Structure 1
Amino acid sequence: MAPHAIAEAALGGLRQQLTGDAIAPGDPGYDEARAVFNGMIDRHPAVIAQCETGADVARAIRFGRENDLEIAVRGGGHSVAGMALNDDGIVVDLRRMHTVIVNPVERTARIGGGATMSHLDRACQPYDLATTGGRASTTGVGGFTLGGGSGWLERKFGLACDNLVAVELVTADGSTVHASADENPELFWALHGGGGNFGVATAITLKLHPLQAMSMMMLLFRPEEGLQVARAYRDFLSSAPDELGGGLFYLTGPPEPFVPDHLVGKLTCILLITYAGPEMEARNVAEPLLALPREAELIAELPYAELQCMLDDPPGQRNYWSAEYLAGFPDAAVDAFTARAGTMPVPSSSQHILFPMGGAVAAGPGDHPLPWRTAPWAVHPFGIWESPADDERAVEWVRDVRAGMRPWSIGTVYLNFIGLEGEDRVLAAFGEENYRRLAAVKTEYDPDNVFRLNHNIKPLQPAV
């Protein structure tokens, strides 16, 4: 088949079958439809199926298989490796399927497969309910949750997948299955971190939690004060309540009213404290950190949905990320972390991040295939920049951070935080025993590895 070419009759047939639409090269809106968060990704699918129903998803999958097209699945489009797109294949685009139905009595939300965090958070806000979501409001709920789901509320409410109640999944043969603790429980287990390997999630149901108030404290420091701040933060977190989250960031000071002129456009150390509770309570809990001398601050009680979009980066910039999960954060690790802040590309939108784990993350279900949840700390070099001329140095910086933190790494990693770093990283993310079990589920639901544009778990090979 020639690049980008699908027989017009076949394409017309797909359009007739879909409730949604099918966009091919040359159609109005094609370039907009194929754009994803990472501006480094420039791929040209043969067709983008803009699905509106589960039946549309099934038809798109069957069409792809019948026409020997590689299948990509798009929710939020935040995969740093651009796994929501392909060249010359079909994209099953879920973005029109973004309805969120909140049941305030049962404290659950049924979420369409294409919904973003903003859809979920704003639907829950009127009921003073929330669940752990991604740290960017444009992240897709489906891929985020099925990959594990790390966010501001994880120390209090656990990972997103810990709150998973049920999943509606369209499998590789176009059939629909339901997974929950009582229905297809082995598949349900695999969906707690196994990502999109087993089918297309057209709807997921999540457990919600009461959240009447959310507070945020952003404390700004000169970069040379980062070492002292990092040690104080580490020591404080050893006894901090689960309501407290956030992270330590090095970034380029943004041109915001609360940022002093001498930090705008310069390397800045920011301690972000999030707290699942009212501001005065947050201030009392965080008093040791608020005692640190600083250049500026921004402290507020605000709706959770507003906090979720505060650190949103605009789409279309160039991205490269990775992560290391740490067994501890001793002085030598603090030194290594802060030293590498000075090598990050500035000015840019890049962020050098330390996230606290623990709390409900570490105390959560130990049978899920997520060994990284036991780590007390995560280092997340988050490279974002504008010019292709900076590609090499930005990617090198991210890799250098990983290498520098490796002596304290537990060796496993949250796959949503990284791009395609090889099969060994996927295996390490689950551990050998979990990986074999996941591969068995993959073999049952996707024996031909149709859904392979992901952190791929390969089907088991038949015995010879």
Structure 2
Amino acid sequence: MTNDELDKFAASLRGAVIRAGSPEYDEARKLYNAMIDKRPLLIARCADVSDVIACVNFGRDSKLPIAVRGGGHNGPGLGSVDDGLVIDLSQMTGVRVDAKGKTARVGPGCTTGDVDHATHAFGMAVPFGIISTTGVAGLTLSGGHGYLSRQYGLAVDNLIEADVVLSDGSFVTTSDTENPELMWALRGGGGNFGIVTSFVFRLSPAKVLYGGPIVFEISEAAEVMRWYRSFQATAPDDFYIFLGLQSVPATDPFPREHWNKRMCVLLVAHNGEGAEAAVNAIRGQLPKPIIDWAAPIPYPALQAMFDPFYPKGMQWYWKGDFVKTLPDAAIEAHIEHAVAGNEFSCMHLYPIDGQVQRKRQDESAWSTRDATWSMVIVGVHPEPSEAAAIKNWATGYWQAVHPYNLAGAYPNFMMADEGEARVRASFGNNYARLAALKQKFDPHNLFHVNQNIRPAA
């Protein structure tokens, strides 16, 4: 590829094109996960849909591998590609709230915090994840679960329209009535089918919740986990609790006597009537905590609670599974391996029952409607020298608990080295339909830097 060709491409965009060797190149190519180091040929920071179309056409015609970056929070580093074109949507961050219609139109570069800020003024929210720096696009296209999921469903269950640039450079709008097959695939099928340049979400009430961490000594973990297993089976939809095994952060405002201590934490979030009384009721059923900060909290503050502890640029290795039951043997294995983790690493169990289970398996590409939790084991450390150790810890932990879990995992909790069998397991009975739609919308697998669904033969 000649410099003249690159110059012509760059001149065709309103956004900036950053090339290998440019002064800003090394900063621009950095990934959320510093364990992964990729060197793309070009990074195109799109300003609008026209730029996205131009990028797709140029990348396809130039036979460049293409990666798409939204909010840039991708654990396996799938927002970049060696020797290829990164279509960077991070500058496309508009949010428009329609308070009367209870919807929000969201740009593909937005983080969930951008959307929370815009919708909070109207007392509404979209059910996203638990960290406000997470990109909306990546989170949504693989499902999207978080504090409001039991009450309002997944992010994809609240996606009602999308604008998409397809692999041939064409632009389409999709909804339940317009290009409905594409909408079905976008609701959980990842970035396999095109580049979404605008999302429209349904909004639901969420202003001030009663929530926060209730922390127990690790010696109480087995009792707390057994209680949690029982509670989850009958919990009302507006009462969400995720369970974590991790360490007390060594920073204020956490009490110094507990810094770096391994703990079992219940992160509670109640978004309904009688919230404080409901949380008080469970307080009476549990061991005495070492920290209890559950209290009224604005939804955006709850969403941002974990942001300071997991900044961009750390070493990450994730392993996930869908979990249906939590037998005593699994609890024992969890505790045994969790206590061996470093002060940054953790395991979380996120509820995905309630409203999530009230849709049919074939209603969207997200197929695991019978699971109770989505589990993630996160090996993380700021030092590159610890990369091998955190990978070994996370892998050993996962191998110990996976026999008690379902075959597949939330795609956003999978690394790039897990293989096609795990991707197929994660989509379950919907995989064949997804492969057929991949053949229709991206027959040459242009969009393959993802948890890839191969086009049907």
Query: Which of 342, 367, 379 is equivalent to 2:375?
Result: 379
Query: What is the letter of the counterpart of residue 51 of structure 2?
Result: D
Name the CA distance, whole Å, in 1 between partners of 2:12 and 2:375. Answer: 46
**After the TM superposition, which residues 48-447 of structure 1 pair with which residues of structure 2 at under 5 Å, given as runs?**
48-277=43-272, 281-291=274-284, 292-312=287-307, 313-344=310-341, 346-347=342-343, 349-367=344-362, 368-420=364-416, 421-431=418-428, 433-447=429-443
Cα gap change, 1:340/1:373 in structure 2, threshold over 3 Å: closer, same or farther? farther
Contact 2:268–2:294 (8 Å) recurs in 1: no
- Contact 2:142–2:366 (8 Å) recurs in 1: no
Matched AA of 2:37: D
AA paired with 2:95?
V
Q: How far 1:365 sits from its partner (Å)?
A: 4.2
- Alpha-carbon distance between aligned partners in 1 of 2:434 and 2:48, rounded to the nearest angstrom: 28
**In structure 2, C-alpha distance between the alignment counterparts of 1:413 and 1:12, rounded to whole Å:** 42
Displacement of 1:258 in angstroms is 4.3
Per-residue Cα deviation, 1:266-317 (whole angstroms, up to 9, x for no partner)? 2222221111147xx3231123431231112112212211111111211000
Contact 1:371 1:412 in 2 (8 A): no
Q: CA deviation at 1:201?
A: 0.5
| Distance of 2:351 and 2:140 partners within structure 1 | 19
Cα RMSD over matched residues?
1.5
* Amino acid in structure 1 at the alignment position of 2:419: G
* More moved, 290-299 vs 145-154: 290-299
* Structure 1 range deviating more: 108-117 or 243-252: 243-252
The whole-number CA distance in structure 1 between the counterparts of 2:102 and 2:360 is: 20
Between the aligned partners of 1:277 and 1:384, the Cα distance in structure 2 is 34
| Deviation for aligned residue 1:395 | 1.0
1:38 matched to 2:28: no
Moved more, 375-384 or 283-292: 283-292
Unmatched segments (≥5 aa) in structure 1: 1-5
Deviation at 1:210, TM superposition (A): 1.5
Q: What is the SS of the residue equivalent to 2:361? A: coil
Residue identity matched to 2:383: S
- Percent of residue pairs identical: 38
- Aligned partners of 1:403, 1:284: CA distance in 2, in Å? 40
Deviates more, 1:385-394 or 1:190-199: 385-394
Question: In the TM superposition, what is the alpha-carbon distance from 1:109 to its structure 2 partner?
Answer: 0.7
- 2:368 and 2:404 mapped to 1: Cα distance? 13
Q: Secondary structure at the match of 1:302?
A: strand
Question: Between Structure 1 and Structure 2, how many residues are aligned?
Answer: 451
Aligned residues of 1:75 and 1:94 also touching (Cα < 8 A): yes
Shift of 1:378: 2.9
Retained in 2: the 8 A contact 1:76–1:95? yes
CA distance in 1, matches of 2:366, 2:21: 43
Q: Secondary structure at the match of 2:138?
A: helix
What is the deviation of 1:155?
0.5
Give the deviation of 1:260 after TM superposition.
Answer: 2.4
Q: Which amino acid aligns with 2:422?
A: R
Q: In 2, Cα distance between the equivalents of 1:58 and 1:176?
A: 8
CA distance in 2, matches of 1:136, 1:36: 17
Deviations 1:205-248 (A, max 9, x none): 11110223212131122111111111122222222211111311
Q: TM-score of the superposition, structure 2-length normalised?
A: 0.95
Relative to the length of structure 1, the TM-score reads 0.94
